[in-house]
Structures are given as structure tokens and as C-alpha cells.
């Protein structure tokens, strides 16, 4: 029975990753036709597409009562994105940092993390009111980005393939369907495995599920970095982290209040610390290279060791 659960878990991850890939292709094609800058594509459409697995897992977990997975998946994915995804991209190819991301999006990311932490500290749950606040923040942020995009239209990147409008819609709808079904498989079977192994839902959410649902961000950012689309690579990570907090946790807690335990608070503190440290490093260096990348990946290895230690 355990082998079947493992197989279904892997099938779920494949559906999540491939579904997100189709969604990104379709959405990016539409964005290119509309002449939206690649940085904005990374912060919005690609970020939403690569965050779809986290959304599917967290919302499904919240609805099924697995609240620990709902929160730990988002926090764990964001830590993985900030340290591992950016770190791997920097190791592969050093890149300059987009000024708009440093001035606009990184501060918003820090603010979103801070608001989430304060919500956790004030109450023992993320209430429906908290969820609505996060969703409003997300809406304001998207409107801000769209206004900036309309002011700074440019030709889309040649590396983004253009599909017909109909095929783009097919990719988007089909990709989302695969993501939703895959998310359901991942949550159900990960919960069964966690109980069978004696692991907590928090631990499996911060490790296996968080890394699995972050694979689209890793693949997308690495490919973008290799092609020289640095704005897309870093924008994807920053945008995904914002979507994870404001949209995913906002929608999840709006649907069903999410209970918060001490470990969720500790990991959110670590996430905020990693985000602030990354921001300070980016502002000071103006460029991320192999040394910075190795440091980031090493920090994630230390974090993984900490999770194994505390169980």
C-alpha cells in the first residue's frame, strides 16, 4: 500500500510540474503578444503559473483539514525559492540585478512576510479576515504592476514561443486542470505517508511537498538564467513568493481558517530573515555570482539539517 502511495505522489508531482509548464507557455505567449516586459511577465504570469502547484496543494490541504501542510508548504517553498533557486541560478551564471525588483518588488516581499508574521503572532489562526487582507494586498500589487507595464511596453523576448490565441487558451486551461488534479494526489498521499512514517504534517510540508511544488520555479528560473533572461529568473522567484503568501495563504484562509503552531511561526521568522538578508546582499553587491550562489545553497542545506534535527 505504501508503494502505491509513493507512486501516486510521484504522479501528482509530474502533473504539477508539467501542468505548470503548459500554463506558463500559454500565459507567456499571451503576454508576448501584448508586449509586456519580461520582468513583469516573471513577476506576474510566470510567477502565478509556477506557484500553481503550491496553490493547488495548500488550498486542497486547507479544505481537507490538513492545515499544517497548507502553511508549511508555502513557507517551505518560499525558503527554497529564496535560497536554493536563486542560489543555483547564480552558480550557473552570474547576473546583474534589475533595479525595479530591488526598489519595488523586494520591499513588497519583505512587507508581505512581515504582515504574515504579525498575523501569526497576534492570533492562533489565520482567520478569514486575515485572508481577505492578504488578497486585497495582492490585488493592489497586481494593479500597480499592470499600470507600470502599460507605461513601459516593449517587444517580448524572442525566447518565449508564440502560440495561437486558441492554443494558448488550451495550454492555460489544460495546465491548470493538471495542476489541480496533481495537487489533490500530492496532498492525499503525502498525508498518508507522513502518518505511516510517524512524521508530522509540518515536516513533510516543509521538505518533500515544499521542494516538489517548487520544482517549476527552479526549472523556469534556471532555464531563464541560462538564456540571459535575468529579469525573468529573479522576478519569477520574487513574484512566486509574493503570490504564495498573499494569494495562496490569503485564499486558503479565506476559505477555511488555518491554525498556526509555534513551528510555523519559527519557520516564518527564518523566511523573513532569509528574505531581508537576500535583499541586503542584493543591494550591497548589485550582482549575484558563483560565491553568493554557493553561500545561498549552503544555507539551505543547513536549514534542511535543522528540519531533520527538530523532526
Per residue of the chain (311 residues), give pLDDT as tens. 788 888 988 898 888 778 777 877 777 777 677 666 655 665 666 666 666 777 777 777 767 766 667 788 888 889 998 898 888 888 887 777 777 788 888 999 999 999 999 999 997 788 999 999 999 999 898 888 777 766 765 544 455 567 787 888 888 788 877 877 776 787 678 778 777 877 776 777 777 777 777 776 676 677 666 666 655 667 778 888 888 899 888 988 888 888 888 888 999 999 999 999 888 888 887 778 888 889 999 999 999 888 878 76
Tell me the pTM. 0.76
CA–CA dist 77, 87 (Å, integer): 14
What is the predicted pLDDT for the residue at 44?
Answer: 66
User: What fold does the segment set 2-310 form as a domain?
Assistant: A middle domain of Talin 1 (1.20.1420)
Coil/strand/helix, residue 94: coil
- Quickly list DSSP for 118-147: HHHHH-SEE-HHHHHHHHHHHHHHHHHHHH
If one counts every other C-beta atom within 10 angstroms of the C-beta of residue 185, the result is 23
The domain ranges of the chain are 2-310
What is the predicted pLDDT for the residue at 74?
Answer: 87
Coil/strand/helix, residue 113: helix
* Those residues with Cβ within 8 angstroms of residue 131's Cβ, 6 or more apart along the chain or in another chain: 249, 250, 251, 252, 253, 254, 255
CA distances from 95 to 71, 155, 242, 270, 289 (A): 32, 21, 22, 25, 7
Residue pair 261/68 in contact by the 8 Å Cβ criterion: yes
What is the predicted pLDDT for the residue at 156?
Answer: 47
What is the predicted pLDDT for the residue at 236?
Answer: 72
CA distances from 151 to 36, 40, 127, 155, 242 (A): 10, 12, 37, 13, 22
What is the predicted pLDDT for the residue at 160?
Answer: 56
Q: Helix 67-79 vs helix 230-242: angle between axes, to the nearest 10 degrees? A: 150
* Those residues with Cβ within 8 angstroms of residue 99's Cβ, 6 or more apart along the chain or in another chain: none
What is the predicted pLDDT for the residue at 120?
Answer: 92
Which DSSP category does 96 fall into? E
Place of cell 502560440: 163
Provide the H-helix boundaries in 198-261. 201-204, 210-226, 230-242, 250-255
For residue 98, the surrounding DSSP H or E stretch is none
Coil/strand/helix, residue 125: strand
Residue pair 242/217 in contact by the 8 Å Cβ criterion: no
CA–CA dist 92, 271 (Å, integer): 24
What is the predicted pLDDT for the residue at 49?
Answer: 67
**Residue 152 half-sphere exposure, CB side, CA atoms within 13 Å?**
12
Place of cell 535543522: 306
CA–CA dist 258, 62 (Å, integer): 7
If one counts every other C-beta atom within 10 angstroms of the C-beta of residue 283, the result is 12
Amino acid at each position: 500500500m505504501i508503494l502505491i502511495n509513493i507512486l501516486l505522489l510521484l504522479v501528482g508531482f509530474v502533473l504539477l510540474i508539467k501542468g505548470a509548464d503548459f500554463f506558463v507557455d500559454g500565459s507567456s505567449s499571451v503576454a508576448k503578444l501584448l508586449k509586456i516586459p519580461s520582468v513583469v511577465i516573471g513577476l506576474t504570469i510566470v510567477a502565478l503559473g509556477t506557484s500553481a502547484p503550491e496553490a493547488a496543494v495548500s488550498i486542497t490541504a486547507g479544505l481537507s483539514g490538513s492545515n499544517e501542510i497548507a502553511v508549511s508548504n508555502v513557507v517551505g517553498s518560499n525558503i527554497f525559492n529564496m535560497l536554493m533557486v536563486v542560489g543555483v541560478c547564480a552558480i550557473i551564471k552570474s547576473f546583474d540585478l534589475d533595479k525595479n525588483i530591488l526598489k519595488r518588488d523586494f520591499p513588497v516581499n519583505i512587507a508581505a512576510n512581515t504582515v504574515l508574521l504579525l498575523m501569526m503572532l497576534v492570533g492562533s489562526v489565520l482567520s478569514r479576515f486575515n485572508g481577505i487582507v492578504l488578497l486585497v494586498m495582492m490585488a493592489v500589487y497586481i494593479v500597480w504592476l499592470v499600470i507600470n507595464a502599460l507605461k513601459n511596453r516593449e517587444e517580448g523576448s524572442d525566447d518565449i514561443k508564440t502560440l495561437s490565441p486558441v492554443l494558448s487558451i488550451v495550454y492555460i486551461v489544460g495546465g491548470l486542470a493538471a495542476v489541480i488534479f496533481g495537487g489533490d494526489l500530492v496532498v492525499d498521499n503525502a498525508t498518508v505517508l507522513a502518518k505511516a512514517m510517524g512524521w508530522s504534517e509540518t515536516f513533510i510540508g516543509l521538505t518533500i511537498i515544499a521542494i516538489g511544488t517548487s520544482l517549476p520555479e527552479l526549472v523556469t528560473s534556471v532555464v531563464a538564467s541560462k538564456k540571459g533572461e535575468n529579469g525573468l529568473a529573479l522576478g519569477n522567484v520574487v513574484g512566486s513568493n509574493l503570490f504564495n503568501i498573499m494569494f495562496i495563504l490569503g485564499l486558503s484562509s479565506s476559505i477555511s481558517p488555518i491554525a498556526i503552531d509555534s513551528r510555523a511561526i519559527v519557520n516564518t521568522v527564518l523566511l523573513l530573515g532569509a528574505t531581508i538578508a537576500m535583499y541586503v546582499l542584493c543591494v550591497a553587491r548589485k550582482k549575484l555570482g558563483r560565491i553568493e550562489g554557493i553561500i545561498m545553497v549552503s544555507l539551505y542545506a543547513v536549514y534542511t539539517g535543522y528540519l531533520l534535527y527538530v523532526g
